[in-house]
Amino acid sequence: MNSPTIYKIKGMHCASCSVIIENTLKKVDGVQSVEVNFGTENTKIIFDENKTNLEDFNKKLETLGYSLAVKDNHSNILQNDKMLGMSAEEMGMSEDEHRAHLGISQSKQEKLIEIKDMKKKVITAIPLAVISIFTMGWEIFSRYNIVPEMGSGMEKFLLYALPIMATYILFIVGKSYLIGFYRFLRYGKANMDTLIGIGTSVAYVYSMIIVIFAKSLTSFVNVEQTYFDVTIIVITFIALGKYLEARSKLKTGDAIEKLLNLQAKTALIIRGGKEVEISVGQVVRGDLIIIKPGAKIPVDGILTEGHSYVDESMITGEPMPVSKEASDTVVAGTINTSGSFTFKATKVGSETMLAHIIKMVEEAQGSKAPIQALADKISGVFVPIVLVISFVTLVLWIVIGTQYFGFSQALSFGLVSFVGVLVIACPCALGLATPTAIIVGVGKGAREGILVKDAATLEKLHKVNVVVVDKTGTLTKGKPELIDIKILSDLEEQEFISILASLENKSEHPIASAILDFAKVEALQVLTVENFISIKGRGLKGIIGNTEYFIGSIGLIKDLKLSFDTAQLSEFTLEGKTPVVLMTKEKVLGFVTVADAVKPEAIEAVKNLHKLGIKIVMLTGDNKNTANYIAKQIGLTTQAGIDEVVAEVLPEDKLKKIKELQAQGLIVAMAGDGVNDAPALAQADVGIAMATGTDVAIESSGITLLHGDISKLVKAIKLSKITMRGIKQNLFWAFIYNIVGIPLAAGIFYPIFGWLLSPVFAGFAMAMSSVSVVSNSLRIKGKRL
């Protein structure tokens, strides 16, 4: 199976263009599938490289006015310096020039040049449109005696000026629309440019014929009625709308650019015992990198020396800097706030988490949501249907209208309606409704530490009514912590823990790390231990000072034949805690309990999921006591906690439970972090992985929550609901606009209400429809999750 290749599309101006490109490429021999995204202006093609290539695609498309270019792979850009082996300084370039040389933001630069050209045309067209509007307004107001009739000198001036102005507007500003008309005549492919081109050309040609042959046509038509102003104003409005739309669309995809800007440009490394500053692209795995206060971390790695606080907000969305010390991991793009440290590079270039995030965001923004399918189908037949409606409208006005208004007036109404229908009908608003909202939604998610794999996942998530969560690592921290301290002797707490930690320091048991971590946080002294012995299956012993101490469980207490009421330990074991008892040969000195603690944010997250009307099911391989205790801590009530607890399950049982819930007609999301969660994550309607978990879990999921923060699950669902609400609003207005606009422009309401829409207003409405859709999508950025 060939892997998909993403290309940038040039020359695509509307949703119908995307359909034309898609249908054309599908006919190329060797192409297996094509997916064109109007919002991102990209196409994803799966094809047999032995049968076809980019050159073949462009041969088919260039005659229609389109072309494909290899798209910047931003995740690979992060290591391009390495391929070139030269820094900006070595190449004698500024950093901006160097980035341009490597292809970073190349597509954006091209877009900015295109927008600059559009702006120039709009600036030259607006004064001419203002003159035309002034002239049109004067004529209308003079009919109602609001203003005096225009003087003959002014009329004569406009008689010559308007054709010249219209010629400039049509052939210079509206050149792309004329080309669209020409390609329709030659190749039979119609898009939005075709509609505008036909409408404005007909208005222009008809008006020019009237001006040139006025005397000959006086007895047939009203020679005082020309439509140069329609050509001028309609093209100006549409050009202005396209300019505003292009500017707004550029803002929808700024998440990628912001992520790219997180990348450090240089790294301070130790080579040959010396500190050397090199380009980040020259960093290799195993390099020791020095990070000073305020510096960006250039690649992923593990701390080897030092201590500091790192601001990871740009990657995880967490506002508080995170403490880092030896053996902790750091990721590229984060910022060191205070202190200096050295770390060993483990992932560089496209391997880093930042590159992975950029790749996921790009792929998700370029994917299509199922809700877009209807809009795509309509866009595919929209232009031909509108062409038919416009010509039928013209014919009906002339045939039927002549009986009531006479030929001259009927022709005038017919032309106005013909041009109005062509101008007002635009598939762009429909085509932009879904992709622009997806682009903004996915980008906002990335900034909040929520990575969405594709648009379909984002759409499904808003329908979820059951969330199944794995316990370990999802609701709990996934590692043992010291929970309770119970002293049964005259020892002080600090001395008691110090003895425990000193003995556990020699142990390899997983529980030992919980006690040692607690002692470290409390800055307690680790004492010297002599004659340390591990008692297999029971615990350990050692001498501190002149006293022999024992650490173990109930079994060791019995072996030492100590008098102790073990019932108080049973109370803790029922809660899923593991007691660790400190004793001498004579008596029990006290005990601590160790357990996998609930994440602080888990309680609030579960509560907020309930507020969204979502049922929560906890699945775990742990015993029932532990599972029920964790559920109790979170709040075992249908109002605020876990609704159902399923304990002692195997991976296949988790899968079975997901299927069981789906069989009840429920939409299920599964949140987990381990290899044993992968089958259930894949089966769930939406799989949600914790980024602190395994790669298998992340690959099996549609959404990844960075930092393993369960509270982000609530944000992800809210983001999905906000995005889908935006898409539905966009589609509603796009459909309503066309459903109402086309009949109004065709003159259907004229016999009843006397309403006939001027092509000028049709042009303005058409231009603003796309702008309003993009602007509505941009509102998602400002929504609070």
Tens digits of residue pLDDT in 275-313: 999 999 899 999 999 999 989 999 999 999 998 888 887
What pLDDT shows up at residue 390? Answer: 93
DSSP code for 781? G
Domain limits for position 292 = 284-347
From 2-6, 9-13, 241-245, the region with the lowest mean pLDDT: 2-6
- Would residue 721 count as lying in a domain? no
Tens digits of residue pLDDT in 357-380: 888 777 787 777 888 888 778 877
Tens digits of residue pLDDT in 308-335: 888 887 666 666 688 888 989 998 988 9
3-state helix, strand, coil in the chain (%, to 5): 55, 20, 25
- Would residue 262 count as lying in a domain? no
- Look up 622 and say whether it is catalytic: no
What pLDDT shows up at residue 727? Answer: 93
What would the two tokens of residue 224 be? 């005082």
Residue with tokens 């049922």: 615
Of 641 and 332, more confident = 332
Helix axes of 407-424 and 759-778: crossing angle, nearest 10 degrees: 10
Same domain as 592, residue 608 = no
Amino acid making up residue 748: I
Dihedrals φ, ψ of 9, to 5°?
Answer: -100, 135
What would the two tokens of residue 164 be? 């010249």
Same domain as 427, residue 318 = no
At residue 100, does pLDDT exceed 70? no
Q: Which of 72, 470, 685, 709 is catalytic?
A: 470
Q: Give the whole-angstrom CA distance, residue 176 versus residue 178.
A: 5
The winner for highest mean pLDDT among 443-452, 636-645, 710-719 is 710-719
What pLDDT shows up at residue 83? Answer: 37
Please tell me the total count of domains within the chain: 5
What is the model's pTM?
A: 0.75
- Mean pLDDT for the stretch of residues 724-744: 91
Q: Give the whole-angstrom CA distance, residue 116 versus residue 749.
A: 41
At residue 520, does pLDDT exceed 60? yes
Same domain as 645, residue 589 = no
Residue with tokens 């109790």: 632
Residue 671: its H or E element: strand 668-672
Dihedrals φ, ψ of 297, to 5°?
Answer: -85, 125
What would the two tokens of residue 21 be? 């490109």
**Phi/psi zone of residue 67: left (φ > 0), alpha (ψ -120 to 50 degrees), beta?**
beta
What pLDDT shows up at residue 253? Answer: 67
What is the CATH classification number for the domain harbouring 527? 3.40.1110.10
Of 376 and 526, more confident = 526
The contacts of residue 403 (CB under 8 Å, 6+ apart) are none
Tens digits of residue pLDDT in 468-510: 998 877 888 877 889 899 999 999 999 999 999 999 988 877 7
Same domain as 238, residue 373 = yes
Same domain as 406, residue 541 = no
From 87-96, 464-473, 526-535, 765-774, the region with the lowest mean pLDDT: 87-96
The winner for highest mean pLDDT among 100-104, 296-300, 636-640 is 296-300
Please state, rounded to an integer, the average pLDDT across all residues of the chain.
85
Q: Give the whole-angstrom CA distance, residue 166 versus residue 171.
A: 8
Strand order in the sheet with 466-470: 450-452, 703-705, 686-690, 668-672, 466-470, 615-619, 644-646
Which of 597, 630, 664 marks a domain boundary? 597
What pLDDT shows up at residue 637? Answer: 44
- Would residue 23 count as lying in a domain? yes
Residue 302: its H or E element: strand 300-306
What pLDDT shows up at residue 319? Answer: 62
Banded pLDDT at 642 (limits 50, 70, 90): confident
What pLDDT shows up at residue 697? Answer: 56
Q: Give the whole-angstrom CA distance, residue 501 versus residue 755.
A: 88
What pLDDT shows up at residue 78? Answer: 47
From 105-109, 512-516, 759-763, the region with the lowest mean pLDDT: 105-109
What is the CATH classification number for the domain harbouring 621? 3.40.50.1000
Q: Give the whole-angstrom CA distance, residue 53 versus residue 63.
A: 17
The winner for highest mean pLDDT among 20-24, 247-251, 767-771 is 20-24
Residue 106: its H or E element: helix 106-143
- Would residue 69 count as lying in a domain? yes
Residue with tokens 């005038």: 412
The contacts of residue 712 (CB under 8 Å, 6+ apart) are 317, 448, 449, 450, 705, 706
What is the CATH classification number for the domain harbouring 7? 3.30.70.100
- Would residue 718 count as lying in a domain? no
Which of 701, 736, 751 marks a domain boundary? 701
Which of 537, 562, 597 marks a domain boundary? 597
What is the CATH classification number for the domain harbouring 341? 2.70.150.10
What pLDDT shows up at residue 159? Answer: 82
- Would residue 563 count as lying in a domain? yes
Residue with tokens 């085509």: 431
Same domain as 651, residue 688 = yes
Q: Which of 616, 623, 704 is nearest to 661 (CA)?
A: 616
Of 678 and 743, more confident = 743
From 228-232, 506-510, 551-555, 572-576, the region with the lowest mean pLDDT: 506-510
Banded pLDDT at 534 (limits 50, 70, 90): confident
Tens digits of residue pLDDT in 128-178: 999 998 888 888 788 778 888 888 888 888 888 999 999 999 999 999 999
For residue 324, the cross-strand partners are 308
Same domain as 489, residue 403 = no
What would the two tokens of residue 501 be? 């930690």
Same domain as 178, residue 57 = no
Same domain as 557, residue 612 = no
Same domain as 208, residue 141 = yes
Banded pLDDT at 232 (limits 50, 70, 90): very high
Tens digits of residue pLDDT in 77-95: 444 444 333 444 444 444 4
Same domain as 376, residue 228 = yes
Q: Which of 75, 47, 77, 79 is nearest to 60 (CA)?
A: 47
At residue 722, does pLDDT exceed 90? yes
User: At 28, is the secondary structure helix, strand, or coil?
Assistant: coil
- Would residue 444 count as lying in a domain? no
Provide the b/e sequence for 430-454 (b: ≥16 CB within 10 Å): bbbbbbbbbbbbbbbbbbbbbbbbb
Q: Give the whole-angstrom CA distance, residue 128 versus residue 57.
A: 40
- Would residue 445 count as lying in a domain? no
Banded pLDDT at 531 (limits 50, 70, 90): very high
The contacts of residue 630 (CB under 8 Å, 6+ apart) are 471, 475, 476, 576, 598, 618, 620
- Mean pLDDT for the stretch of residues 653-681: 86
Same domain as 461, residue 386 = no
